[in-house]
Amino acid sequence: FVDCTFIIIIIIIIFFIIIFKIIIIIFIFIYFLNSISSPQHGIVLDAGSSRTTVYVYEWPAEKENNTGVVSQTYKCNVKGPGISSYGSNPQEIAKPIDDCIHKVKEKIPSHLHKSTPVYLGATAGMRLLRLQNETTANEVLESVHNYFTSQPFEFRGAQIITGQEEGVYGWITANYLMGNFLEKNIWRTWVHPRGAETTGELDLGGASTQISFIPEESMQSSNSTLQVQLYGYEYSVYTHSFQCYGRDEAEKRLLASLMQQPGLNKSTIDNPCYPQSYKTALTMKHLHGSLCTESLKPADYKPVQLVNVRGTGDPALCQEKVSLLFNFTACNGREDCSFNGVHQPKLKGKFVAFSGFYYTANALNLTGRFSLADFNSSMWSFCSQNWNQLPFMLPKFDEVYARSYCFSANYIYYLLVHGYKFNTETWPQIHFQKEVGNSSIAWSLGYMLSLTNMIPAESTLIWLPVHPSLFAGLLFFFTAVSLLCLIFLVYLCVLSRMQKNISHVDRVLAIE
């Protein structure tokens, strides 16, 4: 009995030591888990030609192969036009941006404001303004800088990104959101997916359009290829940006070219791409104030002079006029050429088309993947509609966009089919998509992903063999097993004692 009691005491002591160590491990685990899980935030302003959009991104303090795992948590569209439109009054930029930044402050904990970086990337609208008047462009950026220096965030600067950067950042965004860079394995840790194929990107903005993809063979021309390194892997991406081939600037070029028709009264023009019965008046500055239409500017140019535009809704004539916006003859029949003599390798794999591509397809009641025949049929039907019918056809009616959807559809057709060389077989490989999950497909997320390479991780990454919930479950399991073993040992000792007592009683009775 003494031996059994001693063994039980030893077991109880060992058991409590083990429980004490387990409790310490749990507290340490929870402490480091909370430390690691404390998220960081970043703010990116996509300063496009037609508008500015503010994105808030979040990523854990630890990073995967020097790149943060970033997710979009908030988006705010700044009211008014793009920042390039404030060239004559740059001081007016602050107010519309401030409305969005005020909302952003509420989305990010106040104690993290000072450590939250803010970046502004300006695209084709500002690229054109800089070419037109570098001093004015600098004044616009300076106004942005002055505004953010008065804010609690860590302003990292406003810059005008190149067309190639815009294209490759869009490519990064699309592939990141589609899981082509990272995925979680059975242990809930991030790994590079085996055999993952990247997706090409097609972006149609207001002043420029971009195409980016990884070609079948490595490109010899380094001018059209960018090297991208993400999550420990390197990618060689073909990307090209066509300045003045964004939807808005292309439409201005169409209207400006219609004014040049011989024998035409320049105060009134007929636009076959505008719906029947539609009428509007546009200023000469709207048509010719851009660098993209400067060569079409008339000799008697007066900025405030109005030009009356009438829609005739002629699909066939619209296609003819749109085709003249591209110089297809410059390629001299070469297969490795898109238009304007620009080299382009053969298309490869799937593509995602976003921004203007998506919104135009959506206006035609088309989303996702569909055939080229369906696109042409919907385009022809839409372009034949009267202006009065459009409010009942569009999911969201806005005059400026509604009048231009027919032009946009024809423009997209010529750009993708005759320019990029998509055909009836490869067209269904294009996915017209706005977002993945809650994240918009835009170059800004790729921009943020690239910039996180320069943001140091605040916590050392601790590789856990199992998911936290599974880890807690295993601790509970082993604790329960240990407790059951202790109870079983106590039971054996008690049983042994009882047997000894019974044997002793039996011997006493036998003697008597």
Quick one: which of 263, 341, 266 has its CA closest to 296?
266
Token pair 């009683």 is found at 505
Q: Name, in order, each residue with C-beta under 8 angstroms of 215's C-beta and a sequence gap of 6 or more.
A: 238, 345, 346, 348
Token pair 């042409």 is found at 376
Residue ranges of alpha helices (H) inside 238-337 are 247-259, 284-288, 315-323
Active-site position among 64, 166, 201, 251: 166
166 as an active site residue: the answer is: yes
Distances (CA, A) of 42 to 55, 83, 101, 455: 8, 21, 13, 10
Which residues carry a binding-site annotation for ATP?
206-210
* Strand blocks (E) in 214-278: 225-230, 233-243, 268-271
Amino acid identity, position 105: K
Token duo for residue 252: 């201005």
Which residues carry a binding-site annotation?
206-210
Token pair 């003819």 is found at 320
Q: Which residues pair with 239 in a beta bridge?
A: 212
CB 126 within 8 A of CB 47: yes
CB 78 within 8 A of CB 51: yes
Give the CA count within 13 Å in the CB-facing half-sphere of 144: 29
Catalytic (active-site) positions: 166
